[in-house]
């Protein structure tokens, strides 16, 4: 199959690309599309035959459920059943973060095919803020299932050429919307009995979610106890007390995610900043080709490295997240024996970055 890439850099090209994408989707095909997080591989979420194509192109196991992207907020009630006790929380989250990089896991309606949810009684839903993705899903008018547009277990694509190298020849069309803004996958939270549980760290941080919690309490004229506040953040995998002090504060590794995700083919080792990688200067290791993925400055041990990538010269976590996968991919393609990655501060967006680095090193 020949894979076409269409540009969106003029209004006319965008309109043509949106139409072409919708045409493929209506044909039951899948299409590579940019979102604000990473590139997605989209198909009609309500058509099992179309969704099957996603699994085939990605070589993704059928037990790994997909995220459903909605054309509008009105679709939320069509694909999910929101229990009464979660209503206010869901409404507040949707009002604050949609469209945007927050995925909600909620009880599903029967309209959602089993293949999308891997047979679970919940479905993950999101509404993208990306101008290209939202134009396509709005024009098409039906929800799209769209996991990241990479082969299973590979690094998520953050630019159209990455999608081409992952899925070229397997899908008919990729829409190029330039590099993605956030660079790491959406935050996933499960909403259950009026409470949130973090399933995957992402661009919407525990701090951001905490603002909704406090606003909800305020709107009810309720002052939460210290224990209630701690409980809220604990379910998001962080400690409130440490967060206030600006300390690294992860208390758990996000559950429900497969370790094989985000892995470069090259072995990746995670080290503390400034640690000398002496282990590699031994006799047997001397000839090893090492690359470095550093947060904000070149490693002190740079003489060991064949190539170095700096995630953010100014130490900005946003920039680091946005460039993480492209730089990891670049190192992965450099024919190295090992990538040495430096840890980043584990607060705010750093939580999502460290989550991906840990998975890449697993
Ligand atoms: P991706 O679309 O590749 O970014 O990954 C989708 C991920 O969302 C899956 O690997 C699951 O971890 C998560 N997910 C999707 N649906 C559900 C669900 N119903 N319950 C829990 N997690 C889900
Ligand atoms: Mg993925």
Q: What is the CATH number of the domain that holds 57?
A: 3.90.870.10
Nearest CA to ligand 1 atom 14: 65
Q: Which atom belonging to ligand 1 lies closest to the Cα atom of 186?
A: 4
Question: CA angle at residue 71 from 6 to 123, to 5 degrees?
Answer: 110
Q: Is the peptide bond before 45 cis (omega within 30 degrees of 0)?
A: no
Q: Is the CB of 188 under 6 A from ligand 1?
A: yes
Q: Is the CB of 192 under 6 A from ligand 1?
A: no
Burial of 342 (0-12, 13-18, 19+ CB in 10 A): buried
- Single residue among 183, 205, 224 that ends a domain in this structure: 183
275 and 157 in a single domain? The answer is no
Q: Is the CB of 185 under 6 A from ligand 1?
A: yes
Q: How far, in Å, CA of 329 to CA of 162, rounded? A: 9
pLDDT tens for each residue of the chain, 362 residues long: 999 999 999 999 999 999 999 999 999 999 999 999 999 999 999 999 999 999 999 999 888 899 999 999 999 999 999 999 999 999 999 999 999 999 999 999 999 999 999 999 999 999 999 999 999 999 999 999 999 999 999 999 999 999 999 999 999 999 999 999 999 999 999 999 999 999 999 999 999 999 999 999 999 999 999 999 999 999 999 998 888 887 777 766 554 455 456 689 999 999 988 777 655 445 555 568 889 999 998 766 556 788 999 999 999 999 999 999 999 999 999 999 999 999 999 999 999 999 999 999 98
- 254 inside domain: no
Q: Is the CB of 125 under 6 A from ligand 1?
A: no
Q: How many domains does the chain have?
A: 2
pLDDT score, position 287: 67
Nearest CA to ligand 1 atom 3: 147
Dist. CA 342 → ligand 1 center (Å): 27
Any idea what the CATH number is for the domain that residue 283 is in?
3.40.50.11030
170 and 282 in a single domain? The answer is no
- Single residue among 158, 183, 208 that ends a domain in this structure: 183
Q: Which residues contact 195 (CB under 8 A, 6 or more apart)?
A: 89, 232, 235
Domain that holds residue 307: 268-360
Q: Which of 3, 352, 355, 349 is nearest to 174 (CA)?
A: 3
pLDDT score, position 243: 83
pLDDT score, position 256: 46
Report the residue among 69, 157, 167, 199 best suited for mutation to probe ligand 1: largest number of ligand atoms under 8 A from its CB.
Answer: 199
pLDDT score, position 278: 58
280 and 174 in a single domain? The answer is no
Task: Kindly list the protein residues that place their beta carbon closer than 5 angstroms to ligand 2, a single-atom ion.
Answer: 148
Q: Is the CB of 45 under 6 A from ligand 1?
A: no
Nearest CA to ligand 1 atom 21: 105
Ligand found nearest the CA of 200? 1
Per the listing, tokens 């299932």 go with 145
Helix, strand, coil shares of the chain, percent, nearest 5, are 35, 20, 45
Q: Is the CB of 80 under 6 A from ligand 1?
A: no
48 and 150 in a single domain? The answer is yes
pLDDT score, position 259: 47
- Single residue among 168, 183, 198 that ends a domain in this structure: 183
Per the listing, tokens 């040495």 go with 340
């Amino acid at each position: 199959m020949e894979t076409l890439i269409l540009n969106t850099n003029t209004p006319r090209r965008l309109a043509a690309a949106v139409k072409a994408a919708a045409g493929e989707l209506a044909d039951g095909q899948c299409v590579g599309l940019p979102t604000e997080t990473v590139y997605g591989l989209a198909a009609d979420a309500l058509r099992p035959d179309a969704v099957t194509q996603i699994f085939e192109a990605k070589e993704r196991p059928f037990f790994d459920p997909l995220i459903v992207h909605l054309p509008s907020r009105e679709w939320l009630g069509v694909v999910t059943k929101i229990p009464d006790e979660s209503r206010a929380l869901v409404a507040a989250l949707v009002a604050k973060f949609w469209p945007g990089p927050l995925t909600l896991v909620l009880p599903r309606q029967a309209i959602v095919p089993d293949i999308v949810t891997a047979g679970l009684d919940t479905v993950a839903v999101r509404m993208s803020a990306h101008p290209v993705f939202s134009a396509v899903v709005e024009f098409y008018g039906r929800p799209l299932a769209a996991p990241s547009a990479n082969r299973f277990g590979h690094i998520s694509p953050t630019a159209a050429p990455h999608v081409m190298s992952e899925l070229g020849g397997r899908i008919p069309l990729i829409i190029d919307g330039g590099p993605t803004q956030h660079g790491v996958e959406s935050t996933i939270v499960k909403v259950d009995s009026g409470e949130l549980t973090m399933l995957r760290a992402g661009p919407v941080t525990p701090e951001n979610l905490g603002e909704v919690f406090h606003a909800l309490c305020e709107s009810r004229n309720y002052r939460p106890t210290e224990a209630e506040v701690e409980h809220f953040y604990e379910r998001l995998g962080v400690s409130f007390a440490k967060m206030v002090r600006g300390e690294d504060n992860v208390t758990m590794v996000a559950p429900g995610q497969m370790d094989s995700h985000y892995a470069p083919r090259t072995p990746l080792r995670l080290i503390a900043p400034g640690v000398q990688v002496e282990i590699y200067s031994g006799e047997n290791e001397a000839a090893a080709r090492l690359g470095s993925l550093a947060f904000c400055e070149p490693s002190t041990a740079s003489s060991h490295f064949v190539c170095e990538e700096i995630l953010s010269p100014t130490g900005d976590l946003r920039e680091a997240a946005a460039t993480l996968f492209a730089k990891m991919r670049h190192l992965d393609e450099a024919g190295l024996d090992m990538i040495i990655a430096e840890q980043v501060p584990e607060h705010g967006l750093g939580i999502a970055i460290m989550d991906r680095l840990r998975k890449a090193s697993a």
